[in-house]
Amino acid sequence: MQTPVLNFELFRYQNSKMSLADDLVVVEEPLQIILQYGPEAARQEHTLTLTMRTPGHDFELAIGFLLSEGVIDSPAQILKVWHCEQPKDPAEGENVLKVALTPELSFEIGDLQRNFYSSASCGVCGKTAIDKVIACAGVLAFGAAALQIEILTHLEHAFSERQSLFRHTGGIHAAALFSTSGKLLILREDIGRHNALDKLIGALSAMPEIDRSRTILFLSGRVGYELVQKSIMAQLPVIAALGAPSSLAVSLARRHQQTLVGFLKRERFNVYSGAERFVSSLEGC
């Protein structure tokens, strides 16, 4: 059984000092939901959706998804739910879930797949997408001599001063790009975390004068795998976030030597990946 949390060694900045520490990080893994349906003489099997989740209560997740999306009207229309016994990749066994529906239930699988792939909250999901990021992006270049703690801990103030929609509504996410000297370069807001980052990356694409190797991406919430994936593809070497990262986010950032900072406040933060960029601050740790 997969664990819902993993322990990561990290660097913690607190009380004006950087030191080694451990922290529990919530696990993030892709879940593929495969439907078996059709009359008994002609059963079919197709992937309905891919989503990122914390392992645990997978059966409830799948049943709730089918009910809330109107695929089924009642749990009685489900014959069986189980983790795939023979996945193509043995390591993915607990990440592949099959749901067998009653023979009399009929629907158009193509319509369902189009709806769910486009509306999935996490954007591009699954092991294939992760492998593509690994193949397309290498180690991220960093142009500054070192990250300055004083600049990092003041980003929240500079960020909140400019986050106008959040001040008025309290219900929106934001992504901001700062220079390593602390200058705000771009800020975009959206009700979706992924949309806010996509807007920022779109704006950045029209600004070739910005040296991406000398930037810090600031995020208003938690950091899931998909936000790290997008930032790596955009060649952004540093993420600083107000919230927590997931296990997959940390692993992906470490693979590409991206600096990943979480729980950022004025007096403290955690460095989950790329702590070597705080060169002057790590002496003696």
C-alpha to C-alpha distance for 25 and 7, rounded to whole angstroms: 6
Tokens describing residue 200: 């920022």
Of 122, 125, 136, 285, catalytic: 122
In sign, the C-alpha dihedral spanning 85, 2, 257, 265 is positive
- Give the relative orientation of helices 127-136 and 247-255 as an angle to the nearest 10 degrees: 20
Outline where DSSP puts E strands in 73-162: 78-83, 96-101
C-alpha to C-alpha distance for 118 and 135, rounded to whole angstroms: 24
For residue 38, count other CB atoms closer than 10 A to its CB. Answer: 17
Q: How far is the CA of 44 from the CAs of 38, 40, 271, in angstroms?
A: 6, 9, 47
Do residues 143 and 213 touch, judged by C-beta distance below 8 A? yes
Q: Active site includes 125?
A: no
C-alpha to C-alpha distance for 180 and 64, rounded to whole angstroms: 44
Residues with a catalytic annotation lie at 122
